[in-house]
A and B are shown apart, each in its own frame.
Chain A
Amino acid sequence: GENVEQHPSTLSVQEGDSAVIKCTYSDSASNYFPWYKQELGKRPQLIIDIRSNVGEKKDQRIAVTLNKTAKHFSLHITETQPEDSAVYFCAARGDSWGKLQFGAGTQVVVTP
């Protein structure tokens, strides 16, 4: 089955700096890679996703890149703000019925 590794586990950045989270996956058949943001005690919320036929996708200050050859994908947050502080999870779709395999999460702390 699919296996997703996520790094780093914690990330501290100064407000205004950029943050990058990296994930690798094992199943070359995976074709959908969402990113979720989870604030303390709340539900994971989908913030951006990318499909395997696209190399990069951007939404305002958030971007995701995918390298299918190397089987890794990354989340980039530019001009970080305190409200970006949360746990971020990457995931890969491992089967045709939509089951997602999640990474272990990255705790992002943005200090003013």
Chain B
Amino acid sequence: DSGVTQTPKHLITATGQRVTLRCSPRSGDLSVYWYQQSLDQGLQFLIQYYNGEERAKGNILERFSAQQFPDLHSELNLSSLELGDSALYFCASSVASGGSSYNEQFFGPGTRLTVL
């Protein structure tokens, strides 16, 4: 167990709908990262938050948005869902305080999203 939790584990919804995925980082970690992993694909970086602020953006669609709350948990919102959005969505956390520090990322168990 990495200490990173994600809910729900599975989510089945229809095209056009909106869903929210939740992530709680490890105790003491200030950074949260979101990744998308489609079938037989690698880990596509979506977005990073550090202590409530957006720090880096990857290949995140405009239909997707995220935020990190004062208690450091994060939510990834996916709207106007399409069939191609079906994937495993992972959250990871690290200390990540910037500068030259080395920050291991620890992954949560993921949320499997199926869009029908």
Tell me if B104 and A49 are in contact (CB < 8 A). Answer: yes
Does A62 sit at the interface, judged by CB under 8 A? no
A103 to B43 Cα, complex, angstroms: 8
Kindly state the separation between the CA atoms of A95 and B96 in the bound complex, as whole angstroms. Answer: 11
Question: A101–B59 Cα gap in the complex (Å)?
Answer: 12
Q: How far is the CA of A89 from the CA of B90 in the complex (A)?
A: 15
Residue of B nearest to A94 (CB): B56
Please classify the interface of chain B as helix (H, G, I), strand (E, B), loop, or mixed, using the class held by over half of its residues: loop
By the criterion of a CB under 8 Å from any partner CB, how many residues of chain B are at the interface? 27
B residues in contact with A43, CB < 8 Å: 2, 90, 107-110
Bound-state CA distance A42–B43 (Å) is 13
What are the residues of chain A within 8 A of B108 when measuring CB–CB?
A: 43
A34–B104 touching, CB < 8 Å: yes
A103 partner residues in chain B, CB cutoff 8 A: 42
Known A-B contacts A44-B43, A89-B43; the reply to A97 vs B98 at CB < 8 A is: yes
Is A98 positioned at the interface, with any CB of B under 8 Å from its CB? yes
Residue contact B55 to A100, C-beta cutoff 8 Å:
no
Q: Fill in one digit per residue for B76-116: 1 if any A CB lies within 8 Å of its CB, else 0.
A: 00000000000000100010101111111111111000000
A-B CB proximity, top 3 nearest: A98-B96, A98-B103, A43-B107
Mark A residues whose CB is within 8 Å of B: 31-32, 34, 36, 42-46, 49, 51, 89, 93, 95-105
User: 13 A-B residue contacts at CB 8 Å?
Assistant: A45-B107, A46-B105, A51-B102, A93-B102, A95-B56, A96-B98, A99-B33, A99-B56, A100-B45, A100-B105, A102-B43, A102-B45, A103-B42
